[in-house]
Amino acid sequence: MKTFYSVRMRAASGGRHVSGQERIVTEDLLEETILELHRRPKGEWDFQSIKVEKLSSPPEVVERSLPLKDHRFSCVPLAHSFVSALFEEKLGIDRSLVRRWLAKLTSGVGPGGQNLPGALLVDPQTGEVLNGGNPVRTILFDWLDRPRVKRLLLQRGFTERTLDALALATKNALCGVEAELCVSDDPDYTTGYAASPELGYLRVAPMKEKKSPFGGRVYFVRKENARRVVECLRKRAVLIGEPNL
Ligand code: PML
C-alpha cells in the first residue's frame, strides 16, 4: 500500500498572510513538492512554514468535483444580487444575510478590517457566527493527478486559483458545508465563487472591486452540525479525480 503525505505551506510578511498552498503526495514526490511549495510565494515574505504529515491511511478518492459554472456581470452590485437571490431561492438562505456577508467579505471581515486566515462559520437559519468566531481552515485535499487537471483547467481559460478553490469547495461540500461564499484577498483577482452541493461551484465575476485588498470565506453550517463539519474539514483527507466541467 502506498504511503501518502500532506504538505502544507504558508508564508507571511509582517504578520500578514502572503501565500498558502497544500498538496497530498506519495513518497516519491515528497522532496520535489516541498521545494515547489517553498518557491511558491511570489511576493516578499519574512516567515514561511512547511508542514509535512504522514497520513495514517490513504486518502479517500472522490470521482468528480462539484460542477463548475461561470457567471460574469458588469458590476459588483449585480454579482452580489445574483448570488443572494440564488441562495434565497434555491437554498432557503435569507438574501439579506447573504448580502451582509458579501459586503463584509469585500470590506474586511476580521477585527479592525483584517482578512482572516480561514473561513467563518455562520448558521444559515439564525445568522449566528459559530465556533466562537474562530476561523476554520479546510485542509487535506488535492487532485489525484494535479498536473493533468491543471493543464485541463488552464486550457479552458480558468486559473490556478480555480484549481485550488474547486478542490477545496468540493471537499467542503463533502464535509457538510451547506453553502459557501468566497472573495479572493488578492487585489488583482476580482473573481470569487459561491458554492453548494445543489448549486455546484459558481465562479462569479466581479465579486469585488479592482485593487481591493479584502477577501475571505464564509461557510454556512447549521449549529447542530458545526462540530462534525469542522472535524471533517480538518481531518478527512480527500483526493479528487476529475473536474466536473
Ligand atoms: C476562480 O477563479 O475560480 C475563483 C477562485 C477564488 C480563489 C480565492 C483565492 O484563494 O484567492
Q: What are the residue boundaries of the structural domains of the chain, listed by start?
A: 4-54, 60-244
pLDDT of 231 higher than 80: yes
67 preceded by a cis bond (ω within 30 of 0): no
* Protein residue with its CA nearest to atom 6 in ligand 1: 192
Calculate how far, in angstroms, residue 242's C-alpha sits from the geometric centre of ligand 1: 18
Answer whether 106's CB lies under 8 Å from 183's CB. yes
pLDDT confidence of 15, banded at 50, 70, 90? confident
Answer whether 183's CB lies under 8 Å from 87's CB. no
Residue 208: strand, helix, or coil: coil
Of 175, 180, 166, 176, the residue nearest 235 (C-alpha): 175
Show Cβ contacts of residue 44 under 8 Å, excluding neighbours closer than 6 positions: 13, 18
Of 70, 115, 80, the residue nearest 100 (C-alpha): 80
**What is the four-CA torsion angle of 225, 88, 202, 102, rounded to 10 degrees?**
-80
Average pLDDT over the chain reads 95
Calculate how far, in angstroms, residue 201's C-alpha sits from the geometric centre of ligand 1: 11
**Beta pairing class for 141-143 and 238-244:** parallel
Residue recorded with cell 515547489? 36
Task: Give the pTM.
Answer: 0.95
Ligand 1 pocket test, candidate residues 21, 109, 163, 193, most atoms within 8 A of CB: 193
Residue 239: strand, helix, or coil: strand
Calculate how far, in angstroms, residue 2's C-alpha sits from the geometric centre of ligand 1: 31
Residues at CB less than 6 angstroms from ligand 1: 159, 161-162, 165, 182, 184, 186, 189, 191-193, 203
pLDDT of 113 higher than 80: no
Q: What is the pLDDT of residue 114?
A: 75
| CA pair distance 4, 24, nearest whole angstrom | 7
Ligand 1 pocket test, candidate residues 166, 184, 185, most atoms within 8 A of CB: 184
pLDDT of 117 higher than 90: no
User: Per the structure block, which three cell numbers stand in for 183?
Assistant: 472573495
* Protein residue with its CA nearest to atom 2 in ligand 1: 162
